[in-house]
Amino acid sequence: MAPAEHPRMSDVAERAGVSLSTVSRALRGAPGVAPAVRENVLRAAAELSYVVSRGASSLVTGRTGRIAVLVPFLQPWFFGVALAGMNTRLRAAELDMLVYQVGDVEELDGYVRSLPLRSNVDCVVAVSLDLDEGEIKQLDELGLPVVFCSQRVEGRPSVFIDNTGAARGATQHLLNLGHTRIAYIHTRDQTGFSWSSQERRRGYEQAMAEAGAEPFVVSERPGHDGGALAMGRLLSVSHPPTAVFAESDDVAMGALRVLRRSRLEIPEAISVIGFDGSDFAELLDLTTVAQPVFEMGVRAAELAADIVETGRPSTAQVELPTTLLVRQSTAAPRRSRNLTVRAAPHS
């Protein structure tokens, strides 16, 4: 059946055999509509290719049905998984997901400034961003609630892990294996987004201090390249470390590349541990601290959906657990180590 040229809400009501207000409530996802009735209305609307004018409807409900998700990057594994988690939960809430990549603090500021000019959203989910008080306040003035994903902000709805505790545990694992010369690869760049990075470094430093071991931190740019550069530096000092803790799996992978090209066996010559629990860590048998990224996305979307549905602010603090996945890249150090010759395969 060909759809009418411009079907109206009354056409949907007639086809579904319900009142106009029932159609309106069903299409908005408002409560008080029986599931079967709602399905009827949705089917009738779909059959007629009825187009809800969100603009008009939002004048009534004050809702746009959209969530803005801000990410510093779209490419890394972490963000794809987090977005997939959010997408799943937002679909269940019938909310649409606008995605903005704000690659640095300046872009973020530009986004926040341009918000009044953009299509409205009901809520903002900030993923792994360091929104400062000024930026949060600017969003407040627009009346937009902000949910923090992968960042803990006191008094604000946040989903996060205990980065410090997890990093302390990973460092403790290396100490327990007998390592004492443990280096930490830390990254910093111009994005200004560095919350997790700082927290993890703190955990490493705490564990080293508790063990009376000397911390050894190298800072490089983020990503594979930073990991590779850092590993190069670590292999160039007079007493190279016997173990390396990289602040993320991405960074660890750059370090692994250098070790592979140097024909240094892992873990015989050097132990390596990452952070994230990415698919690639598994492929490379990398010991890592796994965080539940998909679940973080789901939970952040859930907080956002709740805020939108109830219209009530939230201060929920959702801490999710991490897991140390011990794989082949970490082992007790060899008594006698010589980085200048190729290590023999373990027997």
Residue ranges that bind a copy of itself, judged by CB under 8 A: 3, 27, 42, 45-46, 48-59, 64-66, 73-77, 79-81, 83-84, 87-88, 91, 96-101, 113-114, 116-120, 141-142, 224, 253-254, 256-257, 279-280, 282-283
Q: How many CB atoms lie within 10 A of CB 254?
A: 23
**Cβ 181 to a copy of itself, closest distance in Å?**
25
**Cβ 261 to a copy of itself, closest distance in Å?**
8
The nearer residue to a copy of itself, 99 or 326, going by C-beta atoms, is: 99
The nearer residue to a copy of itself, 47 or 205, going by C-beta atoms, is: 47
Q: How many CB atoms lie within 10 A of CB 38?
A: 19
Give how far Cα 137 sits from Cα of 8, 144, 152, 282, Å: 41, 10, 17, 41
| Residue that the structure tokens 């004018």 belong to | 53
**Cβ 101 to a copy of itself, closest distance in Å?**
5
Are 148 and 211 in contact by the 8 Å Cβ rule? The answer is no
**Cβ 70 to a copy of itself, closest distance in Å?**
11
The contacts of residue 346 (CB under 8 Å, 6+ apart) are 265, 268
Residue 99 sits at φ, ψ, to 5 deg, of -115, 130
CA distance 129 to 148: 8
The nearer residue to a copy of itself, 34 or 91, going by C-beta atoms, is: 91
CA distance 170 to 176: 10
The nearer residue to a copy of itself, 172 or 187, going by C-beta atoms, is: 187
Which helix H or strand E contains 229, and what residues bound it?
helix 223-234
Q: Which residues pair with 276 in a beta bridge?
A: 290
| Residue that the structure tokens 């590779």 belong to | 228
The nearer residue to a copy of itself, 166 or 259, going by C-beta atoms, is: 259
**Cβ 251 to a copy of itself, closest distance in Å?**
12
Q: How many CB atoms lie within 10 A of CB 144?
A: 17
**Cβ 158 to a copy of itself, closest distance in Å?**
22
**CA nearest neighbour of 301 among 323, 318, 278, 289:** 318
Please give the structure tokens belonging to residue 19: 């009142």
**CA nearest neighbour of 13 among 43, 41, 47:** 41
**Cβ 211 to a copy of itself, closest distance in Å?**
32
**Cβ 229 to a copy of itself, closest distance in Å?**
14
**CA nearest neighbour of 159 among 322, 298, 318, 323:** 318
Please provide the size of the chain in residues. Answer: 347
The nearer residue to a copy of itself, 17 or 62, going by C-beta atoms, is: 62
The nearer residue to a copy of itself, 170 or 255, going by C-beta atoms, is: 255
Q: How far is CA 75 from the centre of its chain?
A: 12
**Cβ 157 to a copy of itself, closest distance in Å?**
22
The nearer residue to a copy of itself, 58 or 198, going by C-beta atoms, is: 58
The nearer residue to a copy of itself, 61 or 314, going by C-beta atoms, is: 61
